[in-house]
Amino acid sequence: MADLRFNGIGMTSARTRDRLVQRLREQGICSLAVLDRIRNVPRHIFVDEALGSRAYEDTALPIGFGQTISQPYIVARMSEALLEGGPLESVLEVGTGCGYQTAVLAPLVGRIYTIERIGALLERARERLKELGIRNVKFQHGDGAAGWKSQAPFGGILVAAAPLALPEALLKQLEVGGRMIVPVGQEGRQELMRFTRREQGIARESLGRVAFVPLLGGKG
């Protein structure tokens, strides 16, 4: 039964996932490792059963608490952008959400430290990742905007919500050569940015316009 649940049938089947991967290729996703994860991670188990038939549409879907599971293209784009430039041993993820982005990225890096401000979402994500046999993730219920100082510095930081401006507290936890992928800006005017820490300062690159929920402080 577990295999059937993960593999899916009908609108959650392998054929449906292959069509999604083909769409992502057409949109410019090139990383074979990332595309393989998109194909093999059962996105339908991260959404409510009533939305399962829509799990492999290239769209964001509600997961409760005013949050969404990110559009597969965005998950793939952020993962690819983070991994470009070499392997990463330690990654900080700000905004665990339902755990889908975590599941896509986890086997491609050494370890993920993931923070979620909404406790119920964090526990749900922990349960799903355990079901999938993903063991290299450490969880924290907390304020992701503050990062995770005790585990810093990180080779990569991925932020799944949008601060209004460059998150300095997170940049300070990035090691030299490390990369941070983060949407920045107010609603309707957000850009996905890649910040790379160099010896001489921070290099920045725009990866295009996006739409994310705002990055909020505190715990929910």
State yes or no: is 13 an active-site residue: no
SS3 111: strand
Which residue is listed with tokens 């769209």? 59
How many CA within 13 A on the CB side of residue 138?
10
Question: Which residue in 31, 53, 70, 206 is the catalytic one?
Answer: 70
115 forms beta bridges with 94, 140
Tokens found for residue 10: 């009908």
Q: Is 10 left (phi over 0), alpha (psi -120 to 50) or beta?
A: left
Q: Any idea what the Cα angle at residue 155 is, between residues 194 and 176, rounded to 5°?
A: 80
Catalytic residues: 70
